[in-house]
Structure 1
Amino acid sequence: MATKLLPMWPPANVEAVCKVLASTESPGLSGSEITRLLKMINIPDVSPGANKRDRLWSALMTKQQNNQASNCIVRFITEAMSPGRYVQDTARFHELKDALNEPLALMALRVNDQGQVARAAGASTLDEVARLAGRLKTEFNRRGIHPEIVKYCEEEIIRKSLFHAVFEATKGLSERLRQLSKSNLDGAELVDFCFSVRNPPPILRINPFVTETEISEHKGFANLLKGVMGTFRNPPAHTPRAAAGWTITEPDALDLFSMLSFMHRRLDGAVVTLRP
């Protein structure tokens, strides 16, 4: 039975896929991996001297043009995303899958958990692409990020606006402290009000607050709160991003969200002693 010919992909969509697969940063394929995959599925390497992205784009576009079908591109993605290649590095598989699903969404396609290109809900705008791909939300689910974080920055997460997502998530931590303590303070003053040990028991306690170890942990947690607020909230709040040169990478943002999750989980079990 003859193989069904799939419609050709627009050059811009092929380029977007190649940018993901041949990214110079993790989780992109290495040059040797691209060479091996092209040879495996009989796609001529027409530009061997070009950089990875241009080399892959030239190979796939030339083969697609010759065949008048996109089967070669689908085959390459399927071979590249074969789960067996990622047994020792499952995180790389998921990163590649999530990244590929952004450009594929424009063609109503996606890479499924079996590494195959499958039909999916289509997108016509970049906002729809972000919502359908949901890379950060997928990573949030894998890391078990606390719901209090998502509540305050869900829209920023969907749009992958890391600068604003970090800012809103950190503001959400302050709002949680205000709700628990019934205070209108902010920043370090709010933390001091909630966790001060000058007039025991503190308004908020994350442990029984009896032994020296427990008191030390209580003080350390308060300092941790102040550190996060000072590092990730105060700079964006007081200076425009462009003027301050304040940037944050996706790995750093995800690590911060994990830290905020730890803080919220400790607050989940906090004992509240309100003052008159």
Structure 2
Amino acid sequence: MTVKLHPPIDGSVLEGISKTLGDTYNGLTGTEISKFLQEVGIPDIDSNNTKWKRLFNAFADYQNKKQISNNILKFVNRSMNPARFIGRNEQFENVRFELNKRLSFIGLQLLESGKFSLITVSTTISEAEQKVNRFKSKLQQRNAHQKIYEYCKAELLAENYFHAVFEATKSIAEIICQKTGLFQDGSELVEIAFSIKNPLIKINDLTSETKESEHKGFANLIKGVFGMFRNTTAHAPKTIWEINENDALDIMSTISLIHRRLENNA
């Protein structure tokens, strides 16, 4: 069977790959670098240098002599074997995320399996970042409701947590209005739609005090989301009301739960 020969990797991309794999916090240890270089047959020509420069010099020397990048890609495969990261999934995803930004410039993507797949070559930074979207990937791992992606497409692509939360929160009100024909907003909308006496939306059959409490609690959850996130994001400048990735993911999970209950109970 003929082995496909991969052309040399551009120096800038190779430097980015080396810096990612040699990162002080998430990258390989010196011992791991020695091990994987030996396994893939790349001479360790600069073992006393810093980790990323050691990798870069070894990779550059190999492909300058061989005029292919096969063993460099094999090094990435070996070092990113998912079995090595049991109990360290966050580290694996962080390294994979950064590698894929660089790999997209040579038309490759590293999958969760640690194997490569072919993609369209990126030519700009924005293209590379759109193809490698960590925030969206983490939402998918949490099995976020489809409405999140429908209402926040542009914000998710830009990894804009502030406006992604705002748009996702707005989507709840829009779905309630669509289901009920109401035109109110905020707490007033929720109180009318989820009224115990004349509910336009029920999350259960309301046949017991416990079920009524659940129904009221769900309505209060929506009002809480509107009050804490929608009103805040609508009126506070982004520079004042900061949302980090973990907070945004947790908020999106709550909004996703609300959408599921709205979808399953009319």
Normalising by the residue count of structure 1, what TM-score does the alignment of the two structures yield? Answer: 0.78
Alpha-carbon contact 1:44-1:59 (below 8 Å) kept:
yes
Q: CA RMSD in A?
A: 3.2
Is it true that 1:149 corresponds to 2:171 in the alignment?
Answer: no
Counterparts in 2 of 1:1-276, with a 5 A limit?
6-22=6-22, 28-31=26-29, 33-34=32-33, 36-41=35-40, 42-44=42-44, 46=46, 50=50, 56-57=55-56, 59-61=58-60, 63-64=62-63, 69-86=68-85, 93=92, 96-112=95-111, 114-197=113-196, 200-242=197-239, 244-249=240-245, 251-271=246-266
Partner Cα separation in structure 2 for residue 252 and residue 60 of structure 1:
39
SS of match in other structure, 2:106: coil
Write out per-residue CA displacement over residues 214-258 of structure 1, whole angstroms, 9 at most, x where no aligned residue. 11111111121122222322222102101x141221x33233222
Deviates further, 186-195 or 11-20: 11-20
Note the alpha carbon deviations across 1:91-113, whole angstroms, 9 max, x for none.
76566445432321111112245
Deviates more, 1:167-176 or 1:252-261: 252-261
The change in CA–CA distance for 1:2 and 1:164 in structure 2 (over 3 A counts) is: same
Q: 1:113 to 1:245 in 2, by over 3 A?
A: closer
> Deviation of residue 203 (structure 1)?
2.7
Q: Give the match's secondary structure for 1:110.
A: strand
Point out where structure 1 has 5 or more consecutive residues left out of the alignment.
272-276
TM-score of the pair, normalised by structure 2: 0.80
Match for 2:120: what amino acid? A
Judge conservation of contact 1:44–1:63 (CA < 8 Å) in 2: no
Query: By how many angstroms is 1:77 displaced?
Result: 0.7
Aligned length: 264
* In structure 2, distance between residues paired with 1:23 and 1:191: 49
Change (3 A) 1:217 1:2: closer
1:274 counterpart residue number: none
Unaligned regions of 5+ residues in structure 2, if any?
A: none
Please state how far the C-alpha of 1:208 moved relative to its aligned partner: 0.8
